[in-house]
Every structure is written in C-alpha cells, then in structure tokens.
Amino acid sequence: MKHPLMLSIFVGLLPLFGQEDVPVFGYYESQYMGREIGDNTCQLYSNKLRIDLEGDLSDRVTFGANINYITYNGMTAWNILELLDPFAAAEVQGGTESHFIVHFQDRNYLDNAFLKLAFDKFDLTAGKQQVSLGTGYAWNPLDIFNVKDLVDPTYEQPGHNAVRIDLPLTLDYMVTALFSPEDTWENSDKMLTVKGRLGHFDYSLTAAEKLWVLTDFTQVDPGTDYFIQLPERRRLYGFSAAGELLGLGLWSEYGYNVMESSNDFYELVIGSDYTIDSGTYLMAEWFHYSIGKTAVAEYGLNDWMRSYYNQRKAISKDQLYLYLMHPLTDLLMAGLSTIYNISDGSLALVPMLSYSFSDNVEIMGYLSYNNGEMGSVFASDQGPGGTLRARIYF
C-alpha cells in the first residue's frame, strides 16, 4: 500500500468490522472528467473510497466518522492561466505563474469524526462534522462554511471542526449554536440560528462571525513568497424561509455581511419548484450578489481566482439556475441544468443522466456546454466538458 497512514487506519478499523454497534459502510466512486482546452481534450480520472463508521454507543451517545482515500491519474496538473481570459491573465505578476497550477494529488483524510451526546433538553455534537446552512439549492447566502459546485450542487461537502448545540425550545422552534475553533477565540467562527415554523412556512434567523481571508492574487508577499493574504472579520446577519405559495414550493435566503475593512455586501436567493403530474420536476433559483460585477470588462484576476478558491460565491451580480428532471424509466432519470449569468449574458447547459444499475450501484453522467462571449463566466471558448461517475455503496 502506498500510504502507510491508510494501512494503519485500516488495520485499526479491522476489529470494528462486523460489530453491530459500530456498523461500517460507505462507497467506492470511480470518476472520469474531461474538458476541451484549446486543441486538447484534457482528462482526469479519480478513484475515491469512503469508509463510514457510525454507531449508537448507547441510547444517548452516537459516534460517526468517515475516512476518504482518493487517487488521481491522467492530467493531474491544471494550469488555471490557460483557462483565464487574456485580460485577467495579464494581471499575473511575473514569477508567480507556478502558483496558478493546481495539482490533483492522491490523498487520504478524515472528513468527519464526531461524537453526538443527546441530553434531555439538547444535543451536543463535537468534532469534524457536516455543517449545512440555508434553504437554497445552488447558492446559500447563510452558509459561510461551504460553497457549492454549480454543476453538481448536491455533492457532499467537507466536514468542519466544530462544537454544536441544538436546543429545541418547543416542537416548532429550535436554537442552534455553533463554535468552530481557530487559533484564538477572536479568530474562531461563531454562529447562532433560531429556526421556527409559521403555518406551512419554515423560517430561520442567523447571526454568524467568521474570520474571512481574501487572497490578493496580483501581489506577492516577500515574506512567504506567496500571494498576500487579507484577513478581516466578517459578520453575517440573515434569514431564510421555505414553504409553499399558490401550490408552488418557495424558498428564500438572505444574508447581509458586515466586513471589517472591505465593503459590506449582501446575498439573496429566491427559488421556486413544482412537480407536474408526469413526474417532471421543475426548479428555478435566482441569486443576487451585491458585490458581483455587472460586465465582462470589470472581471479581474482576483474575481476569477477568489471565485475558483471559494473566497467569493460568484464573479457577477445576478445569476439564474434552472433545473428540470424527468424519470425516463423507473431506473433512468434525465435532467437539464441551465445556469444563466444575467450580468454578462453567458450560460452553461448541463444535461445529465442518472441510472440505478442495482440497489447499491448508481451511474451518472453530465456534460457542460458554455455559450458566452470571451471573458464571460461561461465563455464559449471554454470548451465543452463532461463527467462520468459510477458509485457503489457497501
């Protein structure tokens, strides 16, 4: 085995296998990703093994963890400069080009490992855990921990180190407090959410604080020989709601961000969905990002790179996500996502197919076609791409 750490983890896990109180399950995922870049079709293959452990150690104690092991082959080094439009690439400082190469390296990591204690009045979860906030499908203004992949927004997010308390006030109201420790108390993430229900609507009020670090990709810090980091405190105040109006599913999510040094900004999502009798599911979601740019000419290197590294949720101000899904047969689903960038007029079409091969085997694939002027978010010259994924659950 290539990685001694994984070997030791596996050996350590062996006694747990088969024990009823700590069941072992997970999945193996094989994925192919291809994309046209210039005259080449660049390809990246990955294999992912995820092993989940989850057990009720007693009536009040739950343990959960998962270990991930991912290998890559094919084109494992991607030069982002080849994907940027020439205007943005012109801002790159000489001598920093190597920092724009992204390497996909084999890795193993503990994604979640937490203990959940159920007290009479509240639950306490401590450790690395999933933190999913907000009601939006493609964007979540309240979620300062994760940024979704627009092409695949339901893919699982990484775990976050946190201590979380869920305190029900009544059957319909619950308070959630979350603390995610960093090097100091001041730099640690804190969040407080109150969830409630009014009629057939769920709503939440959220306040959060996080040390937000932006990178200036146009300047190098001589001390670190890497780009300058710009940390600042970010305070978020927001709400979300989800329910039904006139027969349509309806949700909204709003977050106002008070920034310590840069400009304050807000994010807003409004979405709606409906399932027609044939089983066809339709959804639309609009995302407004107040600090987003409104035209291609305004896009700079930092906009692109910060978006790539999830330091901002979008480059431009307004985007629309449309989704259609229809069951072709009992086992085969077809879908089409359309991501329309209202600000620069570009769009991405993402047709997809998902097939249930057996009880525990899923095969899915999607393509992505861009249509937009050079330099736009979904520029036509950023050739078509696609992903084919098979996942086996065990």
Partner 1 sequence: MKIRKVWKNNMIIGFPVWFAIMSMAAEITAQDMSGKQIIQEVNDQFNPQTSYAKSKMTIITTSGDKRTLVSESWRKGAGEKTLVRYLEPKRVKGQAVLMLNSADDIWAYFPRTGRVRKLASHAKKQKMQGSDFSYEDMGGGDAFIDEYSAKRLEDEKVDKQACFKVELIRNPDSDQTYSRLVLWIVKENFVPIVIDYYSENDPTLNEKQLVQSDIRVIDDLPTAFKVVMYNKMDNTQTEVNVLDAKYNLDLDDNMFTERSLKK
Q: What does the binding site for partner 1 look like in residue numbers (CB under 8 A)?
A: 25, 27, 54, 62, 118, 123, 129-132, 135, 154, 156-157, 166, 168, 171, 174, 195, 200, 202, 242-244, 247-251, 273-275, 277, 279, 329-331, 356, 358-360, 362, 393-394
Q: How far is the CB of 390 from partner 1 (least distance, A)?
A: 13
As a whole number of angstroms, the distance between CA 215 and CA 309 comes to: 9
Both structure tokens of 198 = 């009014």
**Closest CB to partner 1 among residues 39, 359:** 359
Residue with tokens 């959940």: 116
How many DSSP H helices and E strands does the chain contain?
A: 3, 20
Question: 95: left (phi > 0), else alpha (psi -120 to 50), else beta?
Answer: left
Q: How many CA atoms does the CB half-sphere of 267 hold within 13 Å?
A: 27
Burial class (CB in 10 A: 0-12, 13-18, 19+), 141: buried
**Closest CB to partner 1 among residues 56, 298:** 56
Q: How far is the CB of 201 from partner 1 (least distance, A)?
A: 9
Q: How far is the CB of 319 from partner 1 (least distance, A)?
A: 21
Going by C-beta distance under 8 Å and a sequence separation of 6 or more, which residues neighbour residue 163? 124, 125, 126, 178, 179, 180, 181
**Closest CB to partner 1 among residues 7, 331:** 331
**Closest CB to partner 1 among residues 103, 200:** 200
Find out whether 36 and 383 touch, Cβ atoms under 8 Å.
yes
Q: How far is the CB of 11 from partner 1 (least distance, A)?
A: 23
Q: How far is the CB of 129 from partner 1 (least distance, A)?
A: 7
Angle among Cα 72, 1, 101 to the nearest 5 degrees reads 25
Q: How many CA atoms does the CB half-sphere of 169 hold within 13 Å?
A: 10
Q: How far is the CB of 63 from partner 1 (least distance, A)?
A: 13
Tell which residue, 85, 87, 88, 303, has the closest CA to residue 215.
Answer: 303
Q: How far is the CB of 189 from partner 1 (least distance, A)?
A: 16
Q: How far is the CB of 70 from partner 1 (least distance, A)?
A: 16
Question: 60: left (phi > 0), else alpha (psi -120 to 50), else beta?
Answer: alpha
**Closest CB to partner 1 among residues 229, 360:** 360
Q: How many CB atoms lie within 10 A of CB 127?
A: 19
Find out whether 334 and 325 touch, Cβ atoms under 8 Å.
yes
**Closest CB to partner 1 among residues 24, 367:** 24
**Closest CB to partner 1 among residues 116, 293:** 116
**Closest CB to partner 1 among residues 156, 221:** 156
